[in-house]
Amino acid sequence: MILDCRDMKDYRAGHIKEALHVHEGLKDSLINRGDKQRSLLIYCYYGHASEHLAEFFSDFGFKAVYSLQGGYSSWKESHQEV
């Protein structure tokens, strides 16, 4: 599962395919009813906020949580068409 923790405006402007926008309702749902064995990849703008959110999910028992190094800006730069 791919989670985008940027603000909604930036999420709507562009995001990684199949990424879900993180909001309080989604966080609560994942914590209370989510499959804690499922891998989570979380990203933000540059990789800092996603590190904190990844730690948050790890603290709630998720086993495979990752923060995208460099965030969306790094991913977008590496996926631009030449």
Distance CA(48)–CA(7), nearest Å, equals 14
Q: Which of 3, 30, 40, 44 is catalytic?
A: 44
Q: Is 44 one of the catalytic residues? A: yes
Residue type at 35? D
Pairing of strands 20-21, 40-43: unpaired
Whether the CB-CB separation of 1 and 38 falls below 8 Å is answered with yes
**Catalytic (active-site) positions:** 44
